[in-house]
Amino acid sequence: MINYDSIPIFELIYVIVNYGAGSRVLHKAKEYGISGGTVFLGRGTVNNSLLKFFSLYDEKKEIVLMGTDKHTADHALVELNKDFQFEKPNHGIVFTTSMCEIIGSRCCICEENEEERGVNEPMYQIIITIVNRGKAEDVIEAAKAAGSKGGTIINARGSGVNETSKLFNMDIEPEKEMVMILSKEDITENIVSSIRERLEIDKPGNGIIFIQNVNKTYGIYE
């Protein structure tokens, strides 16, 4: 069994930016000690009547995921915020969550770390819901009904035991949609309950929801 008290504190950095900016984020992050990352395509949902009027409310987004140790993550977030000015509207969002271990990266080797693992009460949480394709908008609507301001939708693919269908006697893995919603901790339960009820998540094959505590954020507006 792994003793997580004796290994470094790793963090997963999420950066959500407009389409085309992901590569620039990765380039800058390397300058601040992060060896690399992965860019996913997604689309944002915003509550803006003008954008809806012009059918522009499904904005293309890029989601950059980068893993590193806590010290490097803290430094990188400050510098990335200076570069991309996440505090300004529509410039993007960046936040971090904790990880126990990173496997498969030579730049994140487990060594002894004497830093005390303090426990901080989270102010924000990330709700991730994975559902069948075409259901993401239902997730967003259910979340908004419970107080959310929107989220980011990412295309994915499922491979669970309840998630295959037959076409000409071949197993087909259906496309999925993953919805990322940042929530204040005090309304997370209401949002999750709303999504769970509307999407009937408890029924096999209808989806899955998981929640992570967020450590630091830039670009979040009340």
On whether both 138 and 201 belong to a single domain, the answer is yes
- 108 belongs to a structural domain: no
Q: Specify the pTM.
A: 0.69
DSSP three-state, residue 20:
coil
| CATH number of the domain within which 141 lies | 3.30.70.120
- 111 belongs to a structural domain: no
Give pLDDT, residue 89. 83
DSSP three-state, residue 60:
strand
On whether both 129 and 211 belong to a single domain, the answer is yes
On whether both 85 and 135 belong to a single domain, the answer is no
> Nearest 5°: phi and psi at 72?
-65, -40
On whether both 14 and 50 belong to a single domain, the answer is yes
Give pLDDT, residue 56. 41
Give pLDDT, residue 6. 44
pLDDT tens-digit profile, the chain (222 residues)? 444 444 447 889 999 998 889 999 999 999 999 988 888 888 776 555 444 444 444 578 888 989 888 899 999 999 999 999 998 888 889 999 987 655 554 555 444 444 443 344 558 899 999 888 889 999 999 999 999 988 888 886 555 555 555 545 544 446 788 899 999 999 999 999 999 999 999 898 888 898 988 988 888 765
On whether both 70 and 130 belong to a single domain, the answer is no
Total count of domains within the chain: 2
Number of other CB atoms surrounding residue 178 within 10 Å: 21
Look up the domain containing 136 and give its range.
124-215
Is residue 53 a contact partner of residue 25, using CB atoms and an 8 Å limit? Answer: no
In whole angstroms, give the CA distance from residue 86 to residue 17: 9
On whether both 74 and 130 belong to a single domain, the answer is no
Residues forming beta bridges with residue 183, ordered by sequence position:
125
- 25 belongs to a structural domain: yes
On whether both 95 and 129 belong to a single domain, the answer is no
Give pLDDT, residue 112. 42
- 107 belongs to a structural domain: no
- 54 belongs to a structural domain: yes
List strand residue ranges (DSSP E) for the chain, in order: 10-18, 38-45, 58-69, 93-99, 124-132, 152-157, 165-167, 170-172, 175-184, 208-214, 217-218
